[in-house]
Amino acid sequence: MAHDMIWQADAVSLGEAFAAGRATPVNILEAHHRQVARLDPILNAYSFMAPDARSEAAASEKRWRTGSPLSPLDGVPIILKDNLCASGMPASWGNAALSRHTCASDEAPVARLRAAGLVILGKGNTPEFSVDGYTDNLTFGATCNPFNPDLTPGGSSGGVVAAVAAGMAVAGLATDGGGSIRRPAGYTGLCGLKPGIGHVARAGGLAQVLLDFEVVGPVARSIRDLRAFDAILTGRPTATDRHEPPLRILAVERLGNAPCDPAIRAAFAQSTLALSAEGHTVQTGALPVDLAPLDAVWGQIAEIGLARYFDDAPMVAAAAAPKYREMAERGATLSATHLFDILSRVFALREVARDLWGYDAILMPTSAANPWPATRPFPPEIDGQAVGPRGHAVYTGWVNAAGLPALALPAPVQSGLPIGMQLVGRTGSEAQLLRLGEALAPPFRWPAMSLNQR
C-alpha cells in the first residue's frame, strides 16, 4: 500500500507498519484527524474529540522506537461509543446533562484498550440512552451513513460505524443490547463482534438499562482486527488457524411472517451458497423457537430500565427528550411481578437456545430493511408491508436475550448499499465464529466520499 494511503490499513497492518518503521502513530493520527476535519461536518459521527490523542500517539511512537510497545496494536487510533466511560471525556449517551460531565476513570473494557496503547480519537454519537435503531438526539443531532449521507448508519452505534467506515478511525468499541453493533455494521459494510454474556468483563460504566443483554464488542473493517481486539478485551488470545472443520449451520431467512427486503433476501441466498462452498452443511429452515412471548414484552425492558435509572439521575431525566421520559413513566407503572414474568420469558429462551438446537451456528440477516432517512427513527414499511419501530430489528434482539455470541459481517456479494449478515453461535464460540467469518467476509469496500481527497 502506498504510504499516502496507509491510513486505510486495518489495525493489524498498522501495528506491523509501526514495528517496521513504515509509519508512525503520530502520522497515522494526523491522517485520521484530516479525515475527521473533512468528513465529520457531513457525517456528524463524533460527539467529542479527545484532547490528549496527540500526546498519546507521541507516547506510543516513543515506545515503538525503543522496542517496548504495550501490544501489537499500540498507537492504533480508535473511536469509543459515547455510552462508554473514558477518563477525561464525557460519556454523553446522547444526553445534554451527561455531556457536561467528565468521567474520572475508564470503565473496564476501555481500560484494557488503554493499557494496550490504543489511542482514543474521541466518542461516537449515539441515540439517547442507546435504545433506538438509528442515531439522532437533541444534543448532537443526526449521524449519517458514509455510503449515502441522506440515510442512517443505524443505531445505536451509528457514530462508531460511520467513523470507521469513512476512515475517521481504524476501529471502534461499541455496545450491543439488541443489535446495536450488528445492524449498524451491516449498514456500513463492517465487521462487528457481539460477544456472549460475560465474554468481555464490564465494570465502572453507566447504568445498563437493558440488563445483561448489553455487551461490549469491537467494530472493524476486517475479521482479523476483531480477533486482535477480542484478545485485548478478554486477555485471551484467539486461535489464528483459519481451518475450520465442516460445521452444521441453520440458515434462517425469515422470522415468521415478518417482512424482509428482497435485496437482503438475495444477499442471504448468496451467503448460504458461500457457506456451502466452504464445505459446511447448510440447512435452510425456521428458527426452532417461538419468539412471540419475548417480542410481546421487549419494549418494556428499556422502559423499566429507564424508570430505575431516572430515579437515580433526576438531572439526566430532566434533560432527556420527551420520548424517553414517557418511556420511563410507562416503566414506572409496571410491577415487580411483571418484571419477574419478563425475566421468566428470558430464562426460558436461554434454556431452549443453550445448545443452539444441535447446530454449530445460525446464519441470519442483521436487519430486515436497508438504511432509511437519517432523521427517521425506523422505516415504516418493509417490502410493501407496514411495520412498527422494531420491524427492521427482528433478527437481533433474541440473540441478546439468549446471551449468545454473534458475528456481523458483510454479505459476500456487495453492490450499492452494504448488506450485513450475522452468524450466531453457542456460548463460548466467539473464536469459532471469527474463524468461520474470516473465510466468508469480503474485503472492505470503501465509500466514495472517504477516498475523494479533494
**Which residues participate in catalysis according to the annotation?**
81, 156, 180
What is the 8-class DSSP label of residue 8? G
CB atoms within 10 A of CB 360: 21
Q: Which amino acid is at 413?
A: V
- How is residue 27 written as a grid cell? 502520522
* End-to-end Cα, the chain, rounded Å: 20
SS3 245: coil
SS3 177: coil
CA distance 361 to 370: 24
For the chain, the C-alpha Rg in angstroms (whole number) is 21
- How is residue 199 written as a grid cell? 465474554
Q: How far is CA 390 from each of CA 32, 100, 166, 213, rounded to the nearest angstrom?
A: 34, 31, 27, 16
Q: Let me know if 33 is exposed, middle or buried by CB neighbors in 10 A (0-12, 13-18, 19+).
A: middle
CA distance 309 to 290: 31
Q: 25-43 and 53-65 helices cross at what angle (nearest 10)?
A: 150
CB atoms within 10 A of CB 201: 13
Q: Biggest alpha carbon distance in the chain?
A: 62
Q: Let me know if 414 is exposed, middle or buried by CB neighbors in 10 A (0-12, 13-18, 19+).
A: middle
Strand-pair category, 248-251 with 281-284: parallel
- How is residue 129 written as a grid cell? 440512552
Q: Which amino acid is at 423?
A: L
CA distance 430 to 370: 27
CA distance 434 to 422: 11
Strand partners for 422: 364, 408
Q: Decide: 234 and 215 in contact? Cβ < 8 Å.
A: no
Q: Mind giving me the DSSP string for 262-297? A: HHHHHHHHHHHHHHHHTT-EEEE---SS--HHHHTT
- Where would I find the beta strands (DSSP E) of 50-160? 77-81, 119-124
